[in-house]
C-alpha cells in the first residue's frame, strides 16, 4: 500500500510532506511544524522553495491535512492579489490551451470585464473573445486558470454537453476549483450580521 503523503516523520514536531493535490500552492514541498505552545492558531509562510505550516502539537492528522490545504489556498490567494493585466491573461490562456487542449483553442482576445456579476466568465466563439469577471481577481490562481480553461473549451465546444466536460478532465483541479467557486456563491447568500451598535 502506498505511504500516506502526510505520514508523520521520525521527528513528530517537524516533518516534510508533499503538497496536497489540487492545492493552489506553487511550491513542491510542505513542512509541518508542531508546537506545544501553540493552542489554536495555524499559520503558514513561504521559506525558499517550500511552505512552512505551523500548527498546535495536539492537532490530529486529519485536522492537520485539512489545515495544510486551507493554508496553502490562503497563501495562494494572497499571492495572486496582484491583478493580472489583459496581456498576462492572454499569455495564460495560450499556455493553458497548449497544456490541456493541445493548443487548439486560440482566442482572439482575453480580458477582464466589470459587467459580469452573475457569471465568472463568458466566451463568444464566433468572435474568439473571452471575458473574465473582475470578481475573480484575488482568487487562487488555480481557480482563475479553471475559469480560463472553461472558456477556452467553449471555443472548441459551444455547449455544456459530455464532449465539453471531456475537454476539462485533463485539468487536475477542475473539481477543486468548482467547489471553491460554489463556496463563494454560497457565502454570498448568507445573511449579514447587523453591525454592532456603539454605546
Residue 163: CB partners within 8 Å, gap ≥ 6? 157
Cell digits of residue 124: 463568444
Is this model's pTM higher than 0.95 or not? no
Q: What is the pLDDT of residues 108-167, one digit of tens each?
A: 999 999 888 889 999 999 999 999 998 898 788 889 999 999 999 999 998 899 999 999
Using CA atoms, how far apart are residues 40 and 21, in angstroms rounded to an integer?
A: 25
How many residues belong to the chain?
A: 199
Residue 140: CB partners within 8 Å, gap ≥ 6? 24, 73, 76, 77, 80, 180
Amino acid at each position: 500500500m502506498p505511504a500516506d503523503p502526510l505520514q508523520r516523520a521520525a521527528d513528530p514536531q517537524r516533518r516534510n510532506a508533499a503538497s496536497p493535490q489540487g492545492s493552489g500552492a506553487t511550491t513542491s514541498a510542505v513542512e509541518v511544524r508542531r508546537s506545544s505552545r501553540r493552542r489554536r492558531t495555524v499559520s503558514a509562510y513561504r521559506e525558499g522553495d517550500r511552505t512552512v505550516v505551523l500548527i498546535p502539537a495536539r492537532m490530529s492528522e486529519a485536522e492537520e491535512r485539512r489545515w495544510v490545504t486551507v493554508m496553502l489556498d490562503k497563501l495562494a490567494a494572497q499571492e495572486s492579489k496582484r491583478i493580472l493585466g489583459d496581456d498576462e491573461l492572454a499569455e495564460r490562456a495560450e499556455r493553458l490551451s497548449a497544456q490541456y487542449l493541445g493548443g487548439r483553442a486560440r482566442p482572439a482576445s482575453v480580458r477582464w470585464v466589470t459587467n459580469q456579476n452573475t457569471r465568472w466568465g463568458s466566451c463568444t466563439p464566433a468572435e474568439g473573445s473571452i471575458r473574465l469577471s473582475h470578481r475573480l481577481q484575488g482568487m487562487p490562481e488555480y481557480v482563475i486558470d479553471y475559469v480560463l480553461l472553461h472558456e477556452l473549451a467553449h471555443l472548441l465546444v459551444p455547449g455544456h454537453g459530455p464532449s465539453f466536460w471531456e475537454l476539462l478532465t485533463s485539468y487536475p483541479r477542475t473539481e477543486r476549483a468548482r467547489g471553491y467557486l460554489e463556496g463563494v456563491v454560497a457565502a454570498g447568500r448568507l445573511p449579514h450580521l447587523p453591525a454592532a451598535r456603539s454605546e
